[in-house]
Amino acid sequence: MFHRSKLSALAPLLLAAALVGCATKTVDETANWSPNRIYSEAKDELNAGGYERAITLFEKLEGRAAGTPLAQQAQLEKAYAYHKSNEQAQAIATLDRFIKLHPASPALDYALYLKGIVNFNENMGMFAFISRQDLSERDQKAAKDSFEAFKELVTRFPDSRYTPDARQRMNYIVNSLAQYEVHVARYYYTRGAYVAAINRAQIALADYREVPALEEALYIIYKSYEALGMTQLRDDARRVLETNYPQSAYVQRGFKPKDDPWWKVW
C-alpha cells in the first residue's frame, strides 16, 4: 500500500504523462469543414504542388461526401495528385477503382484519358531527353496499357474533348511499339543471330503499317540474308526496300548511329 508521501511524489509524473498523451492526439482540422471547403483546400494544395496533403484531403472528402458527384470528383483528383507525385501505381489503382465503381459516370472519358496519360508518361515521357535512352529500349507494357486505355476512350467516346489528343498519342505509341520490335531485331543482327533478326523484323512488318521503323526492319532483313549468303532472298529483300523507300538512308549509309534515336527525327 502506497504512503501518501509516495502518491504525492508520483502526482507530477502522472500529470505529465496525461499531458503528453493529450498532446500526441491527432486533431482533425477538417472536422467542422463543409465538403465544399475540403474540396477547395485540396485543390489549392494540388495546384501549389502539395500533393501529399491534397491526397489526404481528397480521401477525407471521399468519405465525407460518399455517394455524391463531389466524392467521384475527389477520387479523380486524387488519382491526378498521385500521378503528379510520381506514384503511378497508386494513380492507376485509383482510376481502375473509379472505372469499376462508376461505369455510367459523365467523367468516365476523363478517367480513361488520365489512365492512358499515366501509363504514357510512365514509359514515354521526357526522360529520354535526359537519359538519352531510346524509348524503344524500355519495357513496353506501360505503352501497351496506355494504348488500350486511349483505344477504349476513342471507341466509346468519339466526341469527347480528350479524344483528339488520345488519337495522336495512340499513333505515337504505335511507332514506339514497332520500333521496339526493330530494336530487338537489330540487337540480334549485331550479335550474328541472323535468323532471329529476320524473324523479329518480320513481326514488325506483319503487325504495323506505315510507321518509320519499317524501313529499318526491311534493311535488317536484307543485311541478314546477305550475312547468311542467301543471295536470292537478299536481292528480294533489297528490291522491296528500294521500292518502298527509294531514297533509303539505310541503303546509302547503313544503320543510323546510336546517338541519333528514332524519336529525334520522327
Show me where the domains of the chain are located. 34-88, 179-265
In 3D space, the residue among 81, 46, 97 whose CA is nearest the CA of residue 105 turns out to be 97
CA angle, 164 then 148 then 166, to 5°: 10
**pLDDT given for residue 3 in this prediction:** 54
CA distance 176 to 140: 8
CA distance 35 to 63: 10
pLDDT tens profile 9-20: 555 555 555 555
> Quick one: 101 exposed, middle or buried, by C-beta within 10 A (0-12, 13-18, 19+)?
exposed
**pLDDT given for residue 254 in this prediction:** 83
Question: What are the CA-CA distances from residue 232 to residues 60, 196, 248 (Å)?
Answer: 70, 19, 21
Residues 6+ apart with CB under 8 A from 231: 225
Question: What are the CA-CA distances from residue 147 to residues 29, 45, 64 (Å)?
Answer: 42, 31, 35
CA distance 91 to 79: 4
**pLDDT given for residue 88 in this prediction:** 94
Q: Whole-prediction pTM value? A: 0.75
Question: Cell digits for 229?
Answer: 549468303
What does the pLDDT profile of the chain (266 residues) look like in tens digits?
545 555 455 555 555 555 555 555 667 788 889 999 999 999 999 999 999 999 999 999 999 999 999 999 999 999 999 999 999 999 999 999 999 999 999 999 999 999 999 998 865 543 343 344 544 455 678 889 999 999 999 999 999 999 999 999 999 999 989 999 999 999 999 999 999 999 999 999 999 988 999 999 999 999 999 999 999 999 999 999 999 999 898 988 888 655 444 444 33
Q: How many CB atoms lie within 10 A of CB 218?
A: 26
pLDDT tens profile 150-188: 999 999 999 999 999 999 999 999 998 999 999 999 999
In 3D space, the residue among 136, 254, 266 whose CA is nearest the CA of residue 210 turns out to be 266
> Quick one: 1 exposed, middle or buried, by C-beta within 10 A (0-12, 13-18, 19+)?
exposed
Is the Cβ–Cβ distance between 38 and 64 less than 8 Å?
A: yes
In 3D space, the residue among 54, 105, 103, 50 whose CA is nearest the CA of residue 77 turns out to be 54
Which one-letter DSSP state was computed for residue 223? H
